[in-house]
Structure 1
Amino acid sequence: MPGLFSGLVAFAAYFVGAIGYCIVFGLIYTRLTAHDEFDLIVRQHNASAGLAFGGALIGFALALAGAVHNTRSALEFMVWGLVAMLSQFLAYGVARLLHPGLSNAIAQNALASAYWVASVSIASGLLAAACMSP
């Protein structure tokens, strides 16, 4: 039974840490974009903004899952979580570089642009997770 308890404590610590990282990621990511995700998603029901932001969050969560899986301490998790976050910001920068009107397109609810940035984000998250091997 002691192993179960320590496993539950570890689960709780990683889960709370991952949720905290997701909140921080969302707050920073929405400041990096030129469009206002909250307004577009919540008030205007813009599907493109929801898809783009959701893809970015999924991509980050995939990379963060790699960090959880491959770390052995809270400090390691914090470092690799930061690496995961930075890799997502870099992925968004690349997506925006290759599609200069990305934010305007998303604000105009252009689904092709949303699929583009969501795909880049998810691909980046998968690659980052795979690269976080011990």
Structure 2
Amino acid sequence: MIVSSLSGLPAFAAYLVAAIGFCALFLLIYTSITPHREFNLIVEHHNASAAVALGMSLIGFALPLTAAIRHSAGMIDFAIWALVSLVVQVAGYGLARLAHPKLSQSIEENSIASAIWLGAVSLTMGIVSASSMTP
């Protein structure tokens, strides 16, 4: 019984490692395109707005990853959908800035309202992306 339960362990490990890798890639790309320096704001300045916005953006990216894992035909299929999800999140950031042109400045100034706005857009993009992935 235990042996049969553990038969899925290699696939679990592969998807887990790949998902963590894609989350790291997302953070690298996302933080390089935003004008504000999230990690500096979070670590050096204890900026709650940067932490909320980046954290919710990461969750917004992770949501479609779970759907991609569930519906993928394999690792290549998963990787493609992970990259699509990354593009969707970056587009979401762009849309949030269209509606709020001083978004990055507001986050630097620790405006929690701006962080919640960006986080809500990121979560919405993630939920819609995840729901759009069908088998």
* Fold shared, TM-score > 0.5 on shorter chain: yes
Residue 57 of structure 2 corresponds to which residue in structure 1?
Answer: 56
Distance 1:85 1:121 in 2: 11
Letter in 2 for 1:5: L
Aligned to 2:43: 42
Task: Give the counterpart letter for 2:73 in structure 1.
Answer: R
Partners of 2:9 and 2:69 lie apart in 1 by: 14
What is the alpha-carbon distance in structure 1 between the residues aligned to residue 122 and residue 13 of structure 2?
Answer: 27
The worse-fitting range, judged by mean Cα deviation, of 5-14 and 120-129 is 5-14
Amino acid at match of 1:75: I
Aligned to 1:91: 92
Kindly state the Cα deviation for residue 38 of structure 1 after the two structures are TM-superposed. 1.0
Alignment-mate amino acid for residue 12 of structure 2: F
TM-score normalised by the chain length of structure 1:
0.97
TM-score (ref. length: structure 2): 0.96
Question: Which residues of structure 2 form unaligned runs of 5+?
Answer: none
Cα distance between partner residues in 2 of 1:53 and 1:32 = 13
**Matching residue's letter, 2:5:** L
DSSP 3-state at the match of 1:88: helix
- Write the mapping of 1:98-113 to structure 2, written as runs, cut at 5 A: 98-113=99-114
Secondary structure of the equivalent of 1:44? coil
Cα RMSD after superposing both structures:
1.0
Show the counterpart of 2:83. Answer: 82
- Cα distance, 1:2 vs structure 2: 5.3
Counterpart CA distance in 1 for 2:79 and 2:7 is 20
What do residues 46-100 of structure 1 show as CA deviations (whole Å, max 9, x unaligned)?
0000000001000000011111111120110010111111110010110011100
| SS state at 2:110 partner | coil
Paired residues, number: 134
- Structure 1 runs (4+) deviating above 4 angstroms are none
In structure 2, the partner of 1:119 is 120
Structure 2: distance between partners of 1:95 and 1:55:
13
The share of aligned pairs that are identical, in percent, is 49
